[in-house]
Structure 1
Amino acid sequence: MEKVVVVILNYNGKHLLEQFLPTVVASSSPYRVIIVDNASEDDSIAFLATNYPAIECIQHRKNEGFAAGYNLALQKIESEYYILLNADVQVTSNWIAPILELMESNNSIAACQPKILAYHEPNKFEYAGAGGGFIDKLGYPFCRGRLFTTIEEDQGQYDDVREIFWASGACMFLRASSFWELGGFDEQLFAYYEEIDLCWRMQQHRYQVFYCGQSSVYHIGSATMGADSPYKTYLKFRNRALVLYKNLPISLLSWSHLLRILLDLMAALQAFLRGKVKDSYAILKAQLDFFRLRNKYKLAVDDPQIQLKQVYQRILPFDYFLRGKKKFSELDQSRISAY
């Protein structure tokens, strides 16, 4: 069995492979790099065959999305650790060693992420993951370095090593045994929020999720689906609802569910008023499909012996929009605890 394998999921990303794969290969040695192709319609496969004939490429017959795309591929890879890496990520020279050393030192760590900075604005954090992921008491996700659309500059404030609630799928280190103990990613989600769901389930099984600021990567973001895709909007709103439904304790579910619907309807109205009619429709469709799909999941059981850590014990949208708390450091740190 191998120690570490770097696994890159690709879909029509030849231009990204051309740009970023050379650095990944150079900086990942002695560990193997594997490409998982989600039935790309560009010349990705031909490019790999010509330029990287030694790199294994696992090809799916159709676009399986993020969740199933990784699950199906990882079943074929025997390794102690997986590093899941988006195709649009620029890695640095020492990105693997600090996290691997951390996970080797603590067997309860099932997932970990590096510092994720913006490729096009390298002095700033990137939207998807930034300085590590958290949730508020209603399950709304946010990051150190990014609250809603407010992005912080990297000034070394998150160069620490600490426990977090969720690690970003853009660059995610996984302990393979823990990953498969939980059944991998939830394939119903297809793409978006699947890493939050996985990390939530890890904590329900008494594993830990960590952030390591001594490792850093640069992420473009939205390179595959596009920043303004209505389908992306649909998946984000639908999957957030499903992840909260399946994981929130029953004692919190009813009123958090009602508040979530209200906030999502407000988001749909706001999109409509801004002329983004397709996004508005996508949000409404997400609500309808949530009600159709929710019966496929069992509700989480209130277990007093299980404590979910790194939860912000307030409602983040209220603090951000009504109280003007725009940075992680402005939040009441004493309210980030377990429940």
Structure 2
Amino acid sequence: MNISIIILNWNGIELLKECLPSVISAMRDCPINNEIIVVDNGSTDTSTEYINLNFPEVCILLMKENLGFAKALNIGIRNAKYPVVVCLNNDIIVEDKFLGPLLRCLESEDVFAAGPKILLTDKKTLNFGRAIGSFKYGFFTRKITDSLHPANSLYACAGGMVFKKDKFLELGGFDEDMDIYWEDLDLCYRAWKRGWKTVYEPRSIIYHKFHATNIRKYGRRGIDFLSGRNYSLFIIKNMHDKLLFVKHLFCLPLLIILSLVFGRGWFASGIIKSFAKFDIFMAKRRIEKNKPSLLPDRMIIGIILK
């Protein structure tokens, strides 16, 4: 099971100084063929010079400008030469033996992706683990939990996940109209509809400098805005159960009001702004509904809750 590791970078030379050595170390004794690709997303710092000088074995894909998260990652993945892809943010540090348990998850034909336990750099605080989704009172919510053993997960975090390239391409990759935040859930949810699982593997551990890149680019308000916008777009595109979808639309004004009351005005603004893309995502919804689907929405949520 040969692998391509894709690392997305934007002006992250200081982050790469920790990320790349950890990845190189993890791959040093790896018994399978592998490649490491850094997708440089229009950096203006000396990231590429640092890589060329210190890690000449690493392939660099240069973007002329910052294309955004999803588009740049899609380009990197399409250029990967091996059938299994590992996606890592540049603010990730991996443990030496993080890869083995993840690859074993992919040995099952019906598994699309696997995600590791992601801790913050204090090595104690859980940043991402097993994702559980629920739909109550017209709202779709997700909760991150931990488990002692591998378990079904609603999705894996795009900043640290492994998946089968052929299935990724068949799904159409990350949605570039969403770009970042909820794009990984969108991908894995569409896979679940085809009967392709995402698995959480707690024996694989990586560490995350939380928001180290995204805070610099978007700011906290921007992140909240994108989260609100893409939450709404995700539902429009993927929630095909008519009753759940109508409940969502009916309760959406309440969610906007509650967000404003609890100080999340930018999240509320993102939801409102999502309707500028309503027609685009309704078209995507129609396309997705016409694709082969084995699992309806209620069954997916039921499986994840087990």
Question: Could you tell me the TM-score, scaled by structure 1's length?
Answer: 0.80
1:265 CA displacement: 2.9
* Aligned ranges 1:63-78 → 2 under 5 Å: 63-78=66-81
Q: Which amino acid aligns with 2:211?
A: S
1:38 CA displacement: 0.7
The residue that corresponds to 2:15 in the other structure is 16
The residue that corresponds to 2:244 in the other structure is 252
* Aligned ranges 1:134-213 → 2 under 5 Å: 134-137=132-135, 138-145=139-146, 158-213=147-202
1:293 aligns with 2:277: yes
1:312 CA displacement: 6.3
Three-state SS of the structure 1 residue aligned to 2:109 is coil
Q: Is the 8 A contact 2:195 2:294 kept in 1?
A: no
1:197 CA displacement: 0.1
Q: Is the 8 A contact 1:118 1:125 kept in 2?
A: yes
Three-state SS of the structure 1 residue aligned to 2:79 is coil
Question: For the structure 1 residues 117 and 310, does the alpha-carbon distance in structure 2 shift closer, same or farther, using more than 3 Å as the test?
Answer: farther
1:304 CA displacement: 9.0
| Cα distance in 2, alignment partners of residues 238 and 304 from structure 1 | 26
How many pairs align?
290
Q: Is the 8 A contact 1:38 1:59 kept in 2?
A: yes
Question: For the structure 1 residues 97 and 263, does the alpha-carbon distance in structure 2 shift closer, same or farther, using more than 3 Å as the test?
Answer: same
| Cα distance in 2, alignment partners of residues 260 and 304 from structure 1 | 27
1:54 CA displacement: 2.0
Q: Which amino acid aligns with 1:231?
A: G
1:40 aligns with 2:43: yes
* Aligned ranges 1:1-339 → 2 under 5 Å: 3-29=2-28, 30=30, 31-104=34-107, 106-119=108-121, 121-126=122-127, 130-137=128-135, 138-145=139-146, 158-226=147-215, 228-249=219-240, 250-271=242-263, 280=265, 282-297=266-281, 298=283, 299=285, 301=289, 305-308=294-297, 311=301, 336-337=305-306
Q: Is the 8 A contact 2:194 2:293 kept in 1?
A: no
Q: Name whichever structure is richer in helix by fraction.
A: 2
Deviations 1:39-96 (A, max 9, x none): 0122111211221222100011121222111111211122110000111111111100
RMSD: 2.3
1:188 CA displacement: 0.2
Q: Which runs of 5+ in 2 are unaligned?
A: none
Three-state SS of the structure 1 residue aligned to 2:83 is strand
| Cα distance in 2, alignment partners of residues 87 and 28 from structure 1 | 16
1:111 CA displacement: 0.7
| Cα distance in 2, alignment partners of residues 261 and 301 from structure 1 | 26
| Cα distance in 2, alignment partners of residues 304 and 8 from structure 1 | 31
